[in-house]
Amino acid sequence: MRSSLIAFLFVSPLLFAQAEDQFRPEIMQIIEDFRISIIEKDEERFLDLFYNGPVPWLGVWSDSSLDDWPDPNDVPPKVFSDTHEHFIEGIANSTRDMEETFSDIEIKSDGDIASVYFKYSFLNNGYKTNWGDEEWQLVRTSSGWKINSVIYSVILNTEPRDGGN
């Protein structure tokens, strides 16, 4: 019995690593589809990345962003919620070029659930408006991986755009 437990404790991290490696390309494709759907303002492609049900979408303003808020009489709450539908609708209806970039991507998965943690930057007409850390929770459904939760921190860029606007 003891040798079985020792063998399990030794082998289980290896199996977990194999699941991460096996599904990493599929999860990386979700990240790329997310990025491309923003650039191309493709609502259908974007919405297809998400689980068909309630999906929490929570942001957290950095303390420095709240301290430097443009209107001190209208500072928002530190934590705010939104929806993925509202997010892509705003992008799709904008005439501006938008892009979200990703770096330092970490993926953990057992093959059925996954978490993706990364640093992001959001660009609006080439201007980096905000950045922070972001984490997604994903589930592997019969139709593939789907995002079922998004949380992110927001650090606003206080540097003026070129030309001061």
For residue range 61-98, list pLDDT tens digits in order.
999 999 999 899 999 999 999 999 999 999 999 999 99
Rg (alpha carbons) of the chain, rounded to whole number: 19
Q: Is 95 helix (H, G, I), strand (E, B) or coil?
A: coil
Q: Is 129 helix (H, G, I), strand (E, B) or coil?
A: strand
Q: Which of 51, 50, 56, 39 is nearest to 124 (CA)?
A: 39
pLDDT value at 6 more than 90: no
| Cα distance between residue 120 and residue 103, in whole Å | 6
Tell me, what's the pLDDT at 21? 79
| Cα distance between residue 82 and residue 14, in whole Å | 38
What is the pTM assigned to this prediction?
0.85
User: Side-chain half-sphere of 133: how many Cα atoms within 13 Å?
Assistant: 6
Which CATH class for the 2-164 domain? Answer: alpha beta
| Domain locations along the chain | 2-164
